Structure 1
Amino acid sequence: MKIALLGYGRMGKIIEQLALDRGHTITLKADSKTEHLGFGDADVAIDFSLPHTAVKNIKSAIDANVPVVSGTTGWLDNYNDIVDHCTSKNGAFLYASNFSLGVNIFFEVNRVLAQLMGKQNDYQPSIEEIHHTQKLDAPSGTAITLAEAIIENSDYSNWTLDPNSKDLHIEAKRIEGVPGTHSIIYDSEVDSIEIKHTAHNRNGFALGAIVAAEWIHDKKGVFSMKDVLNIG
């Protein structure tokens, strides 16, 4: 499979190496300074760029009839616009706040726990996420996805970074060298319930993106990792 990399930072370089190990070819390595995205005969594009370039990158791939998977976070105010654009062009698009296969299983565990805890008013849910200091957005897209599942099954209407708000609290920490840790805590006066996912390195994120690219390259439509993993 011929892959166009949209974003050639730390994640892009890991994706490149793992893709080559799996027998794929990299036909484009675009960074923030790349003015023209020449997709050529690429079979699929993988976007791990920056929030301010992601929308342009994704639309360019769709316009070139190249299926695209995106793991860039911080641009989701434009998500519906991308979905509409993909549909109008009969393209293929998959977004994931986190491509790690383990995290996507964790999403499902969180959803089931949220359903079980939704009516347990004695428990106060909260989320903690820890990432490396180079991560630009806070909270992480993964934390937001986790929060959305809790909100859907509770009386909360929104999440917040403000610990004094009555909305669902997300605590975002930035610590050097941490690939990504997410914890869900339900706390009461008598006990606490906690589930946690800890990434040991970035390889899981990169591998999941490549698996998603392998899955979507011959499809049309808007998808998620649930489709890739056939879960939920």
Structure 2
Amino acid sequence: MNAAGVYTLAGAALLLAVVLPHALRSVALSAPAVLLGVGALAGFLPLPDALMIDPVRDRESVQHLTEFTVLVALMGVGLSLDRPLSLRSWRAWRRWGTTWRLLLVAMPLTIAATAALGVVAGLAPASALLLAAVLAPTDPVLASDVQVDGPTTEQDEPDEIDEADEVRFALTSEAGLNDGLGFPFVHLAVLAAGGFALHDGIVWVGWDLLGRTGLGVVVGVVAGWVLAKAAFRGLRPSMRTAETGEPLLA
């Protein structure tokens, strides 16, 4: 396949991504699943020599590309949530109670159960834990059909999707947050693969589980607060991008 074929394939994939969600509304088939299959089939096509990517040789580039993809997917999930969360309101935290239970109870139990099944199936403990950490989080893209569509206003036409449905909200919010909680267990699997000592456990709990997770929460809250202030209450009208609906802000 030459460069023109690559661009044609990329354009067709983008067109499918726009058309499929509406075309499959009445069919029990997920558009992301179809696109995933298209991507898997495209992976078997030969690429030009200039576009050949080796995941081992180009590890850093592949890593940053996948990180960017995850960030875009999680941002899309976050923008679809229409339930406020105030740091100073206990009632707001309680309204997210189902999400916290899924994250702090259901997900660790799922990781433990999946890892145990992996060991029973013959996998090494580190491999079983890595597999469990990858499979346990709800995929924010593949689960889009059972999630909320996004914030609505009184002027919006009624939709068949109940935006206030607790199950849909829980799946949406949990899918947007669980990747951050899954990464510490990925690091734990990596540590276990190299031999696990008491010092490694202390470092994992102090840095990977608590430190990195807490740092990510703080950075996310601060960045979101600053952008929200600029978008909604900027000193200059030109900075209030929320009034113009500027999509690039996201």
Classify the TM-score, shorter chain.
under 0.3
Q: TM-score, normalised by structure 2?
A: 0.21
Q: TM-score, normalised by structure 1?
A: 0.22
Structure having greater relative contact order (Cα 8 Å, sep ≥ 6): 1
